[in-house]
Amino acid sequence: MSDYIKELKKLLIIKLSGYKIVDKSAKIFYLVKDNKVQATVKDQGEFIIVSIGGKDYKYDKWYTKPEHLANVLANYFGSK
């Protein structure tokens, strides 16, 4: 598991109450709420791909640090 994914998961556990993190593999995890997958997060080398509602969002690891992506996801899911 990459350090980026480890750090992102730690931050999301703190920021997203009511959500579970379910590992699919060392590089992929799901954000789950009420037994429904809300998002898929994939580590693809230089990029993190977040899939929400059938759309993929690509984040460059060099520009988007784990704490920034955690804030983006917390803001998105916190507003739902």
Per residue in 18-53, pLDDT tens? 999 999 999 999 999 999 999 999 999 999 999 999
Distance CA 45, CA 38 (A): 23
What CA–CA distance (Å, rounded) separates 50 from 41?
A: 5
C-beta of residue 56 within 8 angstroms of C-beta of residue 50: yes
Domain ranges of the chain: 3-73
Tell me the whole-structure pTM to 2 decimals: 0.91
